[in-house]
Structure 1
């Protein structure tokens, strides 16, 4: 399985990451990626940038070191209503929106609360993918959430960092169950390194192994093809990115 898109990466703007977008793009080129999603943490995460950081991504070149740059965010789920920590004005400037639970922003609660929050995030229509769902601090009704994601064309991330045991310990078993049920339900998957340093860009070996173990068809793995990934954005109602016309 070849992965040509890293759908979840961070720069120094996130406050606890250590590389610039230029360094991340160069690492992407050296590792054979075609597209890079830059997805810094949204404002409610401690140390994260002001929302202007996201609104101003329109100034970023569409290519850095010959790698296509997708302007994104890892937004925080704020509450059970599924609200995110970006103002409405931000979304027009973003190609790719991840929504994730983070302990400093959303205090872990019950399975019922987490399930309601995720379903409301999906239904609110602003989110393209749910990030690192395997976190054992946030149990949820996997079947209900994945069925809702399937209905609304929201992708499910397989987060490589979650599988390393260094972050969100205990995610591996839950991630496996999510992928297993996701295959049955027919959701779309993405693979994100969750890189916080440029050397971690495209480090997706554990995510690839998990998807292969469950024999997920590549047509359901958005990051295996620029055409697949960009057409998913069109499916989500995003405008066509003309600079990427040769990648559709």
Structure 2
């Protein structure tokens, strides 16, 4: 049986359309005999709407302070290694990630920074890794396949991006091979997303093709339940069955153990 010991795409109450606390997710990870849990709440407009008016949209760093206090999380909790991340939206065809253009002039306590920062930099600084995902495919409306492909290539260049999230579910028409080549060359990962397989059965053949192509090209994959409630943490029945069906190499599963995932993360992220 293919070994999967890490769930590195999960959500807590902070994502607002998810239902469990970080402790409930850790308990569930322990019950599922996981070695490592990655918590990756949405870093996105989905969480908080901008303030201000059209043409003068502003986001407040206080709404995102959940990410800024990651330091208080234990690295090992109930014998599960706990890593801190976020799932950041790709917000335009240039591959920018949410928060890149949001100025953060002050800290949550009102202290004015000597040097202005942006929200992406501030949140990414506290994150061990980032999943880059498309949740609004309209950003690619009217775009050529080449331009959409370049969007993913640009997103991959961000030093904190480790994983491209649910690319089959994104609804984006792009060239797979150049993106997989870039993933392999950068030592990063492509996700096989359990939620996609469970909720979008019509996409299973395309995910299978993605897995086969990763195997052929030597691209490492990550596994994520994309859990929005603790009951589905570490549930990889469909992912494991799909990978076994295509004879996916165990050595290309970055989430086969905590050690393997942490090595991949440290190798890919400066």
The match for 2:177 among 143, 156, 163 is: 143
RMSD of aligned Cα (Å): 2.0
Structure 2 unaligned regions, length at least 5: 50-61, 100-119
Which protein, 1 or 2, shows the higher relative CO under an 8 Å CA cutoff with sep ≥ 6? 2
CA-CA distance at 1:113 after TM superposition: 3.4
The match for 2:192 among 141, 158, 163 is: 158
Question: Highest CA radius of gyration, 1 or 2?
Answer: 2
The match for 2:72 among 37, 56, 59 is: 59
The match for 1:171 among 203, 213, 218 is: 203
TM-score, normalization by structure 2? 0.81
Assess if the C-alpha contact under 8 Å between 1:55 and 1:93 holds in 2: yes
Structure 1 unaligned regions, length at least 5: 239-248
Assess if the C-alpha contact under 8 Å between 1:193 and 1:201 holds in 2: yes
Deviates more, 1:46-55 or 1:70-79: 46-55
The match for 2:249 among 207, 217, 225 is: 217
CA-CA distance at 1:154 after TM superposition: 1.5
Assess if the C-alpha contact under 8 Å between 1:98 and 1:129 holds in 2: yes
Name whichever structure is richer in strand by fraction.
2
The match for 2:223 among 166, 171, 191 is: 191
Alignment-derived partner of residue 68 in structure 1: 81
Q: How far, CA to CA, are the matches of 1:33 and 1:118 in structure 2?
A: 30
Cα offsets for 1:4-44 (capped at 9, x unmatched) = 11010000100100100010000000110111000000032
Number of aligned residue pairs: 236
Cα offsets for 1:21-78 (capped at 9, x unmatched) = 0100000001101110000000322458933222221211112222111001011001
Alignment-derived partner of residue 226 in structure 1: 258
The match for 1:81 among 73, 83, 94 is: 94
Q: How far, CA to CA, are the matches of 1:153 and 1:192 in structure 2?
A: 18
- 2:42 counterpart SS class: coil
Cα pair distance change 1:139/1:105, threshold 3 Å: closer
Cα pair distance change 1:80/1:13, threshold 3 Å: same
TM-score, normalization by structure 1? 0.88
Assess if the C-alpha contact under 8 Å between 1:136 and 1:174 holds in 2: no
Q: How far, CA to CA, are the matches of 1:63 and 1:227 in structure 2?
A: 13
Q: How far, CA to CA, are the matches of 2:72 and 2:182 in structure 1?
A: 34
Q: How far, CA to CA, are the matches of 1:44 and 1:106 in structure 2?
A: 14
